[in-house]
Amino acid sequence: MSSSRPRPAVPTVTIIVPARNEARNLELILPTLPEVHEVIVVDGHSVDDTEDVVRRTLPSARFVQQTRRGKGNALACGFEAATGDVIVMFDADGSADAAEIPAYVSTLVAGADFAKGSRVLGDGGSEDITWLRDAGNRGLTGVTNLLFHTRYTDLCYGYNAFWRDILPTLAIPSSRGSDAQWGDGFEIETLINTRVAAGNLQIHEVPSVELARIHGESNLNTFRDGFRVLRTIVTERFRRGATAIPTPSADTVRHSDDAQTTNVHPAPAAGDTTTPRVLVVGSGWRFTSGISYYTCSLANALASSLPTDALLMRQLVPTFLYPGRKRVGLRVNELDYDDSVTVYDGVDWSWGPSMRGASRFLRTRRPQVVVLQWWTGAVLHSYLRLARQAKKQGATVVMEWHEVQDTGEARIPGVTSYVTRAMGSLLRQVDSHVVHSDFDLDQLTRAYDITADGTPVTVVPHGPYAHVRTPAVEAGTTATAPTTEATEAAEAAPFNLLFFGVIRPYKGLEDLVDAFGALPAEVREHVHLTIVGETWEGWDAPLDRVASSPARHQITVVNRYVTDAEAAQHFAAADAVVLPYRRSSSSGPLQMAMSAGLPVVVTSVGGLVEAASGYQGVRFVPPADVRELTTALAELPALRGRRYPDIRSWEDTVSSYRAIFAELGVPIHTDDDADSAEPTSSLSAVS
């Protein structure tokens, strides 16, 4: 170290933010900064309302006017005004992630003189750099390493931090005077990097993700400023003479992949300082599926007692690859997010501006817990990116599993191999798992060995889909017998069996069609079968069976994805629900049937036995057994008009989650604490 005096283990921190006409960006980034000793905004003679924004957004910030022009002069003015033990250089355009500041400070406390950000190291990266700038940066980095005996990986990245006591070594041009000086421009970062190296100080690189500028355009010119940096490298090397640069020790530039945070904490999300903020990440409404409903229902339930936000996956895959491509983007849902839930909708598979917006949403909302909904490998790369950022911000990550992998995508060559290989990286970010059944736990243990590293796993039953629940069932707590009106109706209307859900190979619908056709004539003449669901994966076998069935005139097929209103009507008109799956981890239609209080015939496969155990209206039958299914169907008309209480509630789910959060060390306060969370509007990704 360069300092002769001991440095504090708990340093005071100054964040210096040079800004010129960045009012729109400052309004967004200043609230994300951690609570530190001081924030100094150095204004570069802005003509917008930069000063007013700073005074309003962060009243505690010091506002300094730079004396000349250029980023170098702005930083020099900030350095001279700084009083903290540690100085952090932070850009005003939104490209720097404030959540990384603790890692920089920790690196300095651990022994570095200079903590240099690197977009190349470890989990670092850039959402903004062009291939031309990247190539130039690599070349300039190589020249610097050759001339200064360093091992930099990312010379031209300006997110850095250092102890204030090394300022004499840096010899930054004085801020006094109006005449332009060497070091006033973008070359300042290279000037600092070379002088730190020439001073043989301890340089530790820190992995960093450069985000895209939020508003406006950069003043950086690739060729002009690139040559300026090259000139700086050469000038700094040879103005010192041939023997002026010492040969550094082996770890002069050290690559710090695992810096620990210490004594610098992210600022809490606005409006909440007492309770943990939860972020639920899952499926949006553009590719509506059962997981879309679950994500919304869980977020709304958690919001009843905890500040909760939702970050949604929007364009899961290219539309032409999606089995339900004809309805992509069509609104079918009436269920929607509570006003208290702030929603980002959402992330596209190809990222682009959508991921930049998601990253900014994550930084701004600052959740203490992130709950990932897993159901498809299409979201793996996005989940990994978001989970890494969440962990870097200090959040706890929980993964809720709906199945190991979608059965349709598992048949696509290479997909299972990709998911299996990449899953390990995601699992390393997860602090706790939630599964819906012991069956799921067994499957996940076989596939990914999720219990091997000791990460806790909690079985939490699937919550109800109450948007199809009738008022009578809502009010009831015990099974109800058929009413006189229902008995009379039996003579006037056929008993209506309902199959509901996407038609896929594993759903076993062809078994139901065959069983329905095999009913004795005296039974079948009083029974009707309604099939509601769109065909996926080209699985036409069930509808072919309908066309050739002797009971085809007693079967109604609605071969599309219906709206919530239509779904509620179908469940209201149903007397019983039949789900003859040949395999299944869980079932949304089963939850809907139990929420509607209807008698249910379901096969004893996968996690369905656990899902329906305790429900008074369930009858289990073996899978792919048409004879047993026919027998069960024949017994159903005797249950006309009976309704049963649902065994699931979102209150139970929330209680389970609160217990999980508490076990993970997340502070849980009273249910009334959420009342202070401010309602905010939904946000949309930039198209």
Q: Which domains are delineated in the chain?
A: 13-255 (3.90.550.10), 278-463+653-684 (3.40.50.2000), 467-639 (3.40.50.2000)
CB 500 within 8 Å of CB 587: no
Supply the Cα-derived Rg of the chain in whole angstroms. Answer: 31
The residue among 491 and 152 whose pLDDT is bigger is: 152
HEC letters along 181-202: CCCCCCCHHHHHHHHHHHCCCC
pLDDT over 50 at 677, yes or no:
no
- Work out the pLDDT band at 258, boundaries 50, 70, 90: very low
Say if residue 78's pLDDT is above 50. Answer: yes
Contact 657, 460 (CB under 8 A): yes
Mean predicted confidence (pLDDT) in 491-499:
89
Helix axes 188-198, 222-238, angle to 10 degrees: 30
* Average pLDDT of the segment spanning 224-247: 70
The CA distance from 434 to 398, in Å, is 7
Report the interhelical angle of 588-595 vs 564-573 (nearest 10°).
Answer: 60
Per DSSP, the residues of 101-123 read HHHHHHHHHTT-SEEEEESSSTT
- What confidence category does residue 681 fall into, taking pLDDT thresholds of 50, 70 and 90? very low
Burial of 76 (0-12, 13-18, 19+ CB in 10 A): buried
Q: Among 23-37, 373-387, 595-609, which stretch is predicted with the lowest mean pLDDT?
A: 23-37
The CA distance from 627 to 511, in Å, is 10
Residue pair 605/580 in contact (Cβ under 8 Å)? The answer is no
| More confident site: 190 or 184 | 190
Distance CA 463, CA 444 (A): 20
Detail the DSSP E strand segments found in 446-516: 457-459, 495-500
pLDDT tens digits, residue range 123-178?
788 877 778 888 888 999 999 899 888 899 998 898 999 999 999 999 888 888 77
Mean pLDDT computed over 382-387 = 95
* pLDDT score of 28: 87
pLDDT, one tens digit per residue, over 316-370 is 999 988 888 888 888 889 999 999 999 999 899 998 778 878 888 898 889 999 9
C-alpha angle 65/74/261, rounded to 5°?
110
Per-residue pLDDT, averaged over 278-299, amounts to: 95
Among residues 93, 90, 107, which one has the least CA distance to residue 205? 107
Please tell me the predicted confidence (pLDDT) of residue 486. 52
Using CA atoms, how far residue 473 sits from 293, 468, 504, 608, 643, in Å, is 20, 10, 30, 22, 7
More confident residue, 421 or 544: 544
In this prediction, residue 480 carries a pLDDT of 63
One-letter amino acid for residue 673 of the chain: D
Q: Report pLDDT for 404.
A: 85
DSSP string, 634-649: HHGGGGTT-B---S--
* pLDDT at position 491: 57
Which pLDDT score, from 0 to 100, does residue 181 have?
78
Please answer whether residues 189 and 137 qualify as being in contact, where contact means their C-beta atoms are separated by less than 8 angstroms.
Answer: no
Contact 501, 289 (CB under 8 A): no
What residues are paired with 369 via a beta bridge? 278, 396
Tokens of 156: 């031209």
Task: Give CA–CA dist 150/142, Å, rounded.
Answer: 9
Contacts of 446 (CB under 8 A, 6+ apart): none
pLDDT tens for 552-586 read: 999 999 999 999 999 999 999 999 999 999 998 88
Predicted confidence at residue 676, as pLDDT, reads: 44
CA distance 81 to 74: 11
Least confident of 238-252, 412-426, 647-661: 238-252
Burial class (CB in 10 A: 0-12, 13-18, 19+), 38: middle
Q: How confident is the model at residue 244 (pLDDT cuts 50, 70, 90)?
A: very low
236 close to 150: Cβ distance less than 8 angstroms? no
Identify the pLDDT of residue 683.
37
Share of the chain residues as helix, strand and coil, in percent rounded to the nearest 5 = 40, 15, 45
| Residue 209 host element (H or E) | strand 209-210
Report which of 170, 161, 192, 13 is spatially closest to residue 85, judged by C-alpha positions: 13
3-state secondary structure at position 283: strand
Categorize the per-residue pLDDT at 497 as very low, low, confident or very high, splitting at 50, 70 and 90. Answer: very high
Tell me the percentage of the chain whose pLDDT exceeds 70. 86
pLDDT of residue 127: 74
pLDDT digits (tens, 9 = 90+) for 197-225: 988 899 999 998 888 788 887 666 667 76
Triad 53, 54, 59: Cα angle to 5°: 120
For the question of whether the overall pTM of this predicted structure is more than 0.75, the answer is no
Question: How high is the mean pLDDT of the chain?
Answer: 86
Residue 655 has pLDDT above 90, yes or no: yes
Mean pLDDT for the stretch of residues 232-251:
62
Whether the predicted pLDDT of 249 surpasses 80 = no
320 to 141, 317, 326: CA distances (angstroms)? 43, 8, 9
Q: Are 641 and 620 in contact (CB under 8 A)?
A: no
